[in-house]
Structure 1
Amino acid sequence: MADGQSDDTADGQAEKSIDEPLAEHDAAAAPPRATVVTETAIVAGPELKKKDFVERVVTRSGLKKRDAKLAAEAALAVLGEAIANGEELNLPPLGKLKINRRKAQANGMIYVCRLRRPDLGNVAAKEPLADPAEDG
């Protein structure tokens, strides 16, 4: 610098470059740099309608269609109420659902949720929720 001044800051310490590692830390132990994600993957598949859902429940459970429809509609109603109340759902094998945001619209509510699914290979080995002998 001009007039014989050094590259020192006001407190008398020399300025260090941001890119230089600090002397008290080992450069090899420095944490990795953060990466900014600019794109997200949107996964969209075919839509599952309630009629098809009930048919799958009938096939999987062996229940009569009218019984399966009543049970599926009741389960969907309970799930809808829990989501509307802002409850966190932990329902294996579906997964863990957490509501991150919600916004009121003219025709209903928009919910932004996070669903964490378990490894389906491990879920199949677990015990069923009900005994097959406990038919009501």
Structure 2
Amino acid sequence: MARKPATPSPTPKPADPVTMIKKPELLDEVVARTNLKKRDVKPTVEAAFAVVAEALRDGAVLNVPPLGKLRVVKTKALDGGASVMTLKLRTPKNATLDADNA
């Protein structure tokens, strides 16, 4: 019985470059969407992220529409007091469709 030659494994496609939104761009986008002044938006956004970070560190599950439900799957402590959190985000039913139509 003849053996088939092994087919080479497909070459993996290079990953699409990831768009990183840094804090200044995020603040600018919030300013644009709310028509508020940056001096009013910045402390509010920073406070909201501080609350989210604290809740995740405490192991809380966050349900924040339209973002979705966010929970910590696992954590790993790093040197210097830092840690890595693996998060699971469950988006609402039509979130993908809404994002595609935007």
TM-score normalised by structure 2 residue count:
0.72
1:48 aligns with 2:21: yes
Deviations 1:21-45 (A, max 9, x none): xxxxxxxxxxxxxxxxxxxxx8862
Unaligned runs of 5+ in 1: 1-41, 123-136
- Compare relative contact order (CA 8 Å, sep 6+) and give the higher one, 1 or 2: 2
The aligned counterpart of 2:85 is 111
Unaligned runs of 5+ in 2: 1-14
Structure having the higher helix fraction is 2
Corresponding pairs, count: 81
Judged with a 3 Å threshold, the aligned counterparts in structure 2 of structure 1 residues 100 and 43 are, in CA distance, closer, same or farther, namely farther
1:91 and 1:85 mapped to 2: Cα distance? Answer: 17
C-alpha root-mean-square deviation of aligned residues, in Å? 1.9
- Tell me how far 1:106 sits from its aligned partner: 0.8
- Tell me how far 1:70 sits from its aligned partner: 1.1
What percent identity do the matched residue pairs reach? 40
Q: Map 1:36-115; keep pairs closer than 5 Å.
A: 45-107=18-80, 108-115=82-89
For the pair shown, the structure with the greater C-alpha radius of gyration is 1
Question: Which runs of at least 4 in structure 1 moved beyond 6 Å after TM superposition?
Answer: none
